[in-house]
Amino acid sequence: MLLETENLAVRYPNGAIGIEDVSIRIETGRIVALVGANGAGKTTTCRALSGFLRTEGAQIVRGKVVFDGVDVTGREPHRLVKAGIAAVPERNKVFPNLSVREHFLSAGMHRSGAEREEAVEFGLHLFPTIRGRMKHSAGTLSGGEQQMVAIIRALVSRPRLLIVDEMMLGLHASLQRPLFEALETIARDGTACLVIDESATRTVTTAQYCYLLEGGRITAHGNSADFVNTDLFGISDIGA
Ligand SMILES: Nc1ncnc2c1ncn2[C@@H]1O[C@H](COP(=O)(O)OP(=O)(O)OP(=O)(O)O)[C@@H](O)[C@H]1O
Ligand SMILES: [Mg+2]
């Protein structure tokens, strides 16, 4: 098992319950979907896995995160990146004033130059339009291009688990195909993906395994095929 959380609970400083009981498992090279309504705790789960709870003043109050057999609960983001977890956040996916090239040059510093260059090439192969944008400020790119840059940047650290929070939020439906196909290629290359999206349709059908988060708790999980054409996610278009 690559990643395992056990009964994870998170509190924000104002007393808000971020998540109450989240146990998920992700195997190497698999695509796993985390689905849930607004406020269900998807982003909080991401933050717990990527170390970004601290920036919100939040903390894990119960449970643990085990990555590759090692307890990494509460580690800082840079240590988790080194361990092999890279996350694309739900908002502020890029630094608007940095060029695209600078995004890639400033990532994965614990990796060798050759490893990072190879990862950038792999990413540009996934998203060829970004090749022509290397000198542009990331803030001038379209939302879809920014998502692509954020994903490539995450890949530069050569993660074993890539987490993408809000894959399609605010993006045109025509981007579903390139973005989700890229995840499939990334997973085939050996990097597991945890994907979160407000619209469950493509997420569930792309993933092999799904978790449903409701009110901070995992209330259902199983193979994606078992969820298609059910109304478990409260979304009627699954499987369309
Ligand atoms: N920075 C924060 N400070 C206080 N409470 C927060 C903070 N971030 C999230 N919460 C609370 O934690 C709970 C889970 O929120 P979270 O953002 O994880 O949900 P989500 O599933 O990502 O929702 P969305 O679909 O809107 O992104 C909510 O009750 C929310 O109000
Ligand atoms: Mg969120």
Residue 13 near residue 58 (C-beta atoms within 8 A) = yes
Annotated domain spans of the chain: 3-227
Cα 150 to averaged position of ligand 1 atoms, centre (Å): 21
Beta-strand ranges (E) seen in 155-208 are 161-164, 192-196
pLDDT confidence of residue 200: 74
pLDDT confidence of residue 227: 78
pLDDT confidence of residue 238: 41
pLDDT confidence of residue 234: 53
Q: CB of 42 closer than 6 A to ligand 1? A: yes
Cα 40 to averaged position of ligand 1 atoms, centre (Å): 7
Q: CB of 52 closer than 6 A to ligand 1? A: no
DSSP conformational letter for 175: G
Ligand 1 pocket mutation, candidates 12, 21, 195, 217, criterion most atoms within 8 A of CB:
12
Q: What is the pLDDT of residues 195-240, one digit of tens each?
A: 998 767 888 889 999 999 999 999 999 998 887 767 666 544 443 3
pLDDT confidence of residue 198: 72
Q: CB of 199 closer than 6 A to ligand 1? A: no
Q: Which residues surround ligand 2, an ion (CB under 5 A)?
A: 42-43, 90
pLDDT confidence of residue 167: 93
CATH code at 3-227: 3.40.50.300
pLDDT confidence of residue 240: 35
pLDDT confidence of residue 233: 61
pLDDT confidence of residue 201: 80
Could you give the C-alpha distances from 24 to 4, 181, 205, in angstroms and in order? 6, 23, 18
Cα 43 to averaged position of ligand 2 atoms, centre (Å): 4
Low-confidence ranges of the chain (pLDDT < 70): 199, 229, 231-240
